[in-house]
Amino acid sequence: MAAAGLANPLHRLDIAALFGQGLPVTDSRLTMLAVHAHPDDESSKGGATMAKYAAEGIRVIVATFTGGERGDILNPNLADDAQLAADLPAARRREMAEAARILGVEQRFLGFEDSGLPQGDPLPPLPPGSFATLEPAAAALPLVKLIREVRPDVLTTYDPSGGYPHPDHVQTHRVSVAALELAADPGYRPAVGPAFAVPKVYYDQGISQDRIIAIHRAMEARGLVSPYADWLTDRPGRKSKEQYITTRVPVAEFFEVRDRALRSHASQVDPKGWFFKVPRDIERAVWPHEDFELVSATVPVTIPEDDLFAGLR
């Protein structure tokens, strides 16, 4: 499928109509801006892609909406660490800095408070003032400033589902869409920089039911216990997003970098957890790419793609 200025090829969200034709790309150094909810999301969602582009010399910037202050300590080796529990926000910042170093990217915190993942029936209300409770257009300002400052050629964020139903992930989608519109509007806060329309916008589709099934079957075929067996049993009605994927970036050689970055989030990640139970040779064989959905482009594109910067190089 080809288009000269993609206007939502899959009819999910007409972002392109909001942007007009954008601005020409004049900076010789391409820039990617990856928008995430919490520290560690950048490593588990698109981390290998970011490492690949950073290794090519592309400027890669991670924008993290919250500090992950309400995350649980999920590493059993640290479960009884009283000092860590007492100062989790500082620990998460240190972990984020190390992950950014490993991936080769820059990182900016956007200054919002983690909403936490509510538990119970009925679910309790979210903490007042936390990220997911804010009106998206009001919360968009820090991201608008960053977009206008770094003028990314490519921006990645979450789809309307958030990838999974954490309130901060769903809010990340809403605020990202608002920020993209506002950043391109010359009448919105000109004092924070000249208007800029991002040439290509993607949803990260790395949490893919099709990927999980493919890896699960490959592990069973080898006689291994799949870490996804319970996942597939618990989510039998989870829908495939295959029809939305437009772009598969080959990143098999960067899986180890991604894994090291994810392990650096030691408070949040069990180093022996399910994510690391998949042999990487199996992952390389059956799913050697990370997947994205192109939702807006102001340059000519041809679908399918294998490069987020196709049409921009």
Q: How far apart are CA 202 and CA 113, in angstroms?
A: 25
Instruction: Name the pTM for this structure.
Output: 0.89
Whole-number average pLDDT of the chain: 89
Q: How far apart are CA 5 and CA 270, in angstroms?
A: 43
pLDDT number for residue 308: 98
Q: How far apart are CA 225 and CA 207, in angstroms?
A: 20
Summarised one tens digit per residue, pLDDT across range 186-245 is 999 999 999 999 999 999 999 888 999 999 999 999 999 999 988 787 665 567 888 999
pLDDT number for residue 241: 86
- Cβ atoms within 10 Å of 185's Cβ, excluding its own: 15
Q: What do you get for the CA distance between the two ends of the chain, in Å?
A: 20
Summarised one tens digit per residue, pLDDT across range 104-149 is 999 999 999 999 888 888 888 999 999 999 999 999 999 999 999 9
Query: What radius of gyration do the chain's Cα atoms show?
Result: 19
Structure tokens that stand for 249 in this block: 């970036």
Rounded mean pLDDT, 55-77: 88
Structure tokens that stand for 302 in this block: 């041809």
pLDDT number for residue 225: 94
Domains in the chain (CATH in brackets) are: 2-302 (3.40.50.10320)
Q: Are 176 and 35 in contact (CB under 8 A)?
A: yes
Structure tokens that stand for 88 in this block: 């989790």
Q: Are 205 and 161 in contact (CB under 8 A)?
A: no
3-state helix, strand, coil in the chain (%, to 5): 40, 15, 45
pLDDT at 25 over 70: no
Contacts of 100 (CB under 8 A, 6+ apart): 42, 62, 106, 107
